[in-house]
Structure 1
Amino acid sequence: MTDDDMVVDAELVEDGRLPAIPEDRTPAVPLADEDPDAWLPPEAQEDVQAGIPETTSNAYEGDMRRFAEWCEVVGRRVMPAAPQTVTAYMSHLKRTPREKTGRPYGPNSMDRIIASIRSSHRAAGFKPPDTMGARKVVAGYRAQLAASNDPAAQVQKASPADRAVLRAALAKLDRSTLAGKRDAALMLLGHALASRGSELVPLDWPASFTEQPDGGFKVRVFRKKRKVWQNVSVVLDPEPDLCAVRAVRALATALALEGHCEGALFLRMDQWGFLAPPMTRHGKPIGDPEGRMTIEAASDIVQRSIERTGLPGRWRSHSSRRGFVKSARKAGVDIVQIGRHGGWDDKSKALIGYVDEDDAQGESNPLAQIGRAAAAEREREG
C-alpha cells in the first residue's frame, strides 16, 4: 500500500464538481422523491463540505472523474451506477496498470474508490449502488496478493529519520544557502515536533512561535488527525547542527533579508533560489499565492536530502515523525510522554505500532532480552 492507498471515510456534498448524468440514460429515483426529508439546505451542505479534508475531497473527485471516463469508454451509466457497473470497474482496476506506477491499484485504493462512488451518489441525491460484488472482487484481490507475498499487499510506511539519519543528511546539505537553511529547518523542526507534513507546512513565522525563557520556543501546531491545537515546547539542542531552534531562527533571518519577515515559514523556491516563483498549469496560476510549499514538496525535500547519504529506506515527510519516536525510545523516554509530545492519543495504535517495530529491531527485542538473561545466569552459575 502506498501513501495514495489510504482509505478515507467521508461524505461529499454537491459542489458542482460531480460528473453529469448522461442525458441518454434514465436516472434512478432521487432520494428526495423517496423521502421528502432527504435533502439539505445550502448552508448545511457547506458545513458538511467544511468537515471533509481537502485531500479527501480531491481524492474522491479524481476517483469519480476516472470512473466517469471508464463508463464513457464501455458505454455504462455513471450515475446512478448499477451494482454490476461498480463490480466490473473493480475487476478492470485490478487488471489494468496505472500510467503513474506501472502497477494496478492496490486493494486499499479500490476500497476508497468504492467509497467515492457511494458518497458521490449521496451528494447528488441518489441512493448509492449495492457494492457487495465489488467488495468481493477487492477481498479476493487482497487475498491473492497476500498469498503471493506481493509487496502491494504490504503497507509501505515511511522509514524513520532519527537523529543518526538526520545527522548524515545534514552533513550533505549546504546550509549556507537559503534553500539549505530551509531544508535543514524543515527536517529538524519536523523531527522536534513529531509532525506530519500537513502539520508542518502551515506554520507561520513568527505567528506560530512563542519565545521561551530557556531560549527555545513553543510552537502552535494543529494536529490534523485529532483536530486539536497543541502548544509544543521545542528546546535548544546540545548538538548545534541538530538544533531545530537554531535552524528555524537561521531560516527566519535569511528570509527577512529577502524581505519576507512574516507569513509562511516554508516557502517554495526555484533552482536559482528565488522565493515563491509563480507556478502555472495550462496557463492558469496554481499553488499557494503567497508561496507556501505543498505537503508533497516537503516530502520531496526529505527524500532528496536523505537519499544523498545513500541510506536505504522510504523517505517522506512522515519520516521525521517516525524518527522522533525512534530517537525518543533510544533515549529511554516513556511511551506516554512520546505520545503526548507528538499529539498521539494515549491509546494510539499507530504509535504502539511504531514502538513495537523499533523495539523488535533493537535491544528490546524479546529474543535479545532472553539471550542476555541466559548469559547473565550462566555467568552467575559459572
Structure 2
Amino acid sequence: MTEHDLEVVDADLVDDHLPALREQAQALALPPADPDAWLPPEAEEDAKAGIADSTNDAYTRDFRDYVLWCKTVGRRPIPAAPQTVTHYISHLTRTPRPKTGRPYSPSSLDRIIASIRTTHSAAGHQPPETKGARKVVAGYRKRLSEAKDVRAQPNKTSPALPSVLARALSVIDRTTLSGKRDAAILLTGFACAARASELLLLDVASVTKPDEVRGIGIRVRIYRKKIKKWQNVTVKYGQDEATCPVRALRTYLDALAAEGHTDGPLFMRIDRWGYLGAPIYRRGREIGDPTGRMTGEAISDVVEKSMAAIGMAGRWRSHSLRRGFATAALMTGADPIHTSRHGGWADGSKAFQGYVEEANGLGKENPLTNIGL
C-alpha cells in the first residue's frame, strides 16, 4: 500500500464520494425514512460538480465483492449493521484470494473498510460504525507481524531523492520534445511535491513567468485535491542547471509554444514519432483525453521508466517524487510545518508524520549521530 493509499484511508470520507459507487449503492439501499431526503435534478448536478471526476476502481471492486458476500450469507449490504462489516473483515482475514492464494493484507482491509463507509455516504446513509472491524484488522496485523509476514508492512514507493533524480535526468534525451516533457514532469513533481492527479490537471496558464516572482523562480498554481484548495507554489531556481525545475519547466513551455501549443493542458501525451497530443485508439475507438492531456498512470510511467533506465531497484511511481521531496527537505533541516504546507499536506497528516519520522532517522536528529560510536 502506498503513501497515497494511506492518505485515502486516513481521509476516509473526505473526497471519495464517487458517482459510480453512488449509483451502485442507491440501487441496493432501502428507501429513506425521511420524506425530505431527496434532491431535484438541478441540485443533484450541483452536488456532482463538487465530486472528483476520477473514480476509484479499487473501491468499486471492494464494494461489489462485499455485496456478493452479503448475498451469500444473507446479510443486508446497505445500510449495514456494524456486525456485518466486522463479520466480513474477519472472513477476509481467513479467506485466500484466487489471484494470490493468500488473504488480503491489513492495508487492503483498511481500504475495504473505507470503501464500505464511502459507499454508504454516497448513497445518503450514515456510514456504519467500524471499531469492531478495525480491531479485527489490528489483531490480524499483529499476527502477521509476529510471523514476520511482509503483508504486515505497507508497500511504500521508493523516495526520489535529489541524487537519484540527477541520475535519472542524466540519461533523458532533453533535445527531444518528450525528453523536455519528462524532465519537466520529474522536476516539477518533485519541487511541488505533487501527486500525479495534481500534475495532470496543470495547464500552461498554471505557470507564471519568471519575472512575476521577483526573479527567484516561478509560481505554479496547483489544486490540492486532498484538501480541496488551490495553492500557489513558489518554485525557486536550482543551483545546478541540469536539475533546476524552473529551467526545465520553461524549456518545456518554450518547446510547446514552438509546436503552437500555448494554452490548455501542460503535460501532454507525445507519441513515438514526437507528435503532440496525437489521438490514440483501442479496438477502433478513440480513447484518452481528447485534448491530449496525460493520465496519472502515464505520469507514473515516466517516473518508472526513468528509474529503470539507470537500473534503480525499488518501487517507482509518481508518488516517489512527492515522498522524495518530503524526505529530502526534512533531512536538510527544513521546517516541518513549512514543508508540509508547501506540499499541500493537511495539518496533522499521518502520512506526512511518517516522512518526518523517516527523515529524523536518516538525519542529524537520530540519537546515534553524535553518540561517539
Normalized against structure 2, the TM-score is what? Answer: 0.80
8 Å contact 2:181–2:267 — kept in the other structure? yes
8 Å contact 1:19–1:65 — kept in the other structure? no
Once residues 98 and 48 of structure 2 are traced to their aligned partners in structure 1, the CA distance between those partners, rounded to angstroms, is 29
Q: Which residue of 2 aligns with 1:379?
A: none
1:149-188 to 2 correspondences below 5 Å: 149-188=148-187
Residue by residue over 1:84-111, the C-alpha shift from the partner in whole angstroms, topping out at 9 and shown as x without a partner, is 7656654554423364x77543333333
1:263: Cα distance to partner? Answer: 1.7
Q: Which residue of 1 aligns with 2:300?
A: 299
The residue type equivalent to 1:111 in the other structure is: D
Q: Which residue of 2 aligns with 1:18?
A: 24
Q: Which residue of 1 aligns with 2:290?
A: 289
Q: Which residue of 2 aligns with 1:244?
A: 245
Give the secondary-structure state (helix, strand or coil) at the position aligned to 2:23. Answer: coil
The residue type equivalent to 1:294 in the other structure is: T
Between Structure 1 and Structure 2, whose CA radius of gyration is higher? 1
Q: Which residue of 2 aligns with 1:9?
A: 12
Residue by residue over 1:328-379, the C-alpha shift from the partner in whole angstroms, topping out at 9 and shown as x without a partner, is 345443334433433345655543431321221234321122228xxxxxxx
Answering whether residue 192 of structure 2 is matched by residue 189 of structure 1, we say no
Once residues 124 and 334 of structure 2 are traced to their aligned partners in structure 1, the CA distance between those partners, rounded to angstroms, is 52
1:48-59 to 2 correspondences below 5 Å: 48-55=47-54, 58-59=57-58
Compared with structure 1, are the counterparts of its residues 209 and 97 closer, same or farther at alpha carbon in structure 2 (3 Å cutoff)? farther
Compared with structure 1, are the counterparts of its residues 41 and 356 closer, same or farther at alpha carbon in structure 2 (3 Å cutoff)? same
1:253: Cα distance to partner? Answer: 2.4
1:139-154 to 2 correspondences below 5 Å: 139-154=138-153
Once residues 82 and 233 of structure 1 are traced to their aligned partners in structure 2, the CA distance between those partners, rounded to angstroms, is 46
The residue type equivalent to 1:168 in the other structure is: R
1:79: Cα distance to partner? Answer: 4.8
Q: Which residue of 2 aligns with 1:376?
A: none
Q: Which residue of 2 aligns with 1:371?
A: 372
1:131: Cα distance to partner? Answer: 6.2
Once residues 351 and 127 of structure 2 are traced to their aligned partners in structure 1, the CA distance between those partners, rounded to angstroms, is 32
8 Å contact 1:118–1:129 — kept in the other structure? yes
Once residues 87 and 297 of structure 2 are traced to their aligned partners in structure 1, the CA distance between those partners, rounded to angstroms, is 32
Once residues 333 and 71 of structure 1 are traced to their aligned partners in structure 2, the CA distance between those partners, rounded to angstroms, is 50
Q: Which residues of structure 1 form unaligned runs of 5+?
A: 22-26, 373-382
Q: Which residues of structure 2 form unaligned runs of 5+?
A: none
Once residues 259 and 315 of structure 1 are traced to their aligned partners in structure 2, the CA distance between those partners, rounded to angstroms, is 33
Once residues 263 and 354 of structure 2 are traced to their aligned partners in structure 1, the CA distance between those partners, rounded to angstroms, is 38
Q: Report the RMSD for the aligned CA atoms in angstroms.
A: 3.5
Once residues 307 and 205 of structure 2 are traced to their aligned partners in structure 1, the CA distance between those partners, rounded to angstroms, is 28
Q: Which residue of 2 aligns with 1:198?
A: 197
Give the secondary-structure state (helix, strand or coil) at the position aligned to 1:303. Answer: helix
The residue type equivalent to 2:251 in the other structure is: A
Compared with structure 1, are the counterparts of its residues 123 and 343 closer, same or farther at alpha carbon in structure 2 (3 Å cutoff)? closer
Residue by residue over 1:166-220, the C-alpha shift from the partner in whole angstroms, topping out at 9 and shown as x without a partner, is 1111112222222211111111111222222222221111443233241631111
Larger displacement relative to structure 2 (84-93 or 180-189): 84-93
1:345-364 to 2 correspondences below 5 Å: 347-364=348-365
Larger displacement relative to structure 2 (147-156 or 130-139): 130-139
Q: Which residue of 2 aligns with 1:24?
A: none
Answering whether residue 109 of structure 2 is matched by residue 106 of structure 1, we say no
1:300: Cα distance to partner? Answer: 1.8
8 Å contact 2:202–2:265 — kept in the other structure? yes
Once residues 62 and 48 of structure 1 are traced to their aligned partners in structure 2, the CA distance between those partners, rounded to angstroms, is 24
Once residues 194 and 122 of structure 1 are traced to their aligned partners in structure 2, the CA distance between those partners, rounded to angstroms, is 30
Give the secondary-structure state (helix, strand or coil) at the position aligned to 2:232. Answer: strand
1:243: Cα distance to partner? Answer: 0.9
8 Å contact 2:171–2:309 — kept in the other structure? yes
8 Å contact 2:19–2:55 — kept in the other structure? no
Once residues 104 and 219 of structure 1 are traced to their aligned partners in structure 2, the CA distance between those partners, rounded to angstroms, is 43
Once residues 128 and 150 of structure 1 are traced to their aligned partners in structure 2, the CA distance between those partners, rounded to angstroms, is 31
Give the secondary-structure state (helix, strand or coil) at the position aligned to 2:194. Answer: coil
Once residues 263 and 219 of structure 2 are traced to their aligned partners in structure 1, the CA distance between those partners, rounded to angstroms, is 17
Compared with structure 1, are the counterparts of its residues 185 and 142 closer, same or farther at alpha carbon in structure 2 (3 Å cutoff)? same
**May I ask how many residue pairs the two structures share in their alignment?**
363
Once residues 329 and 78 of structure 2 are traced to their aligned partners in structure 1, the CA distance between those partners, rounded to angstroms, is 52
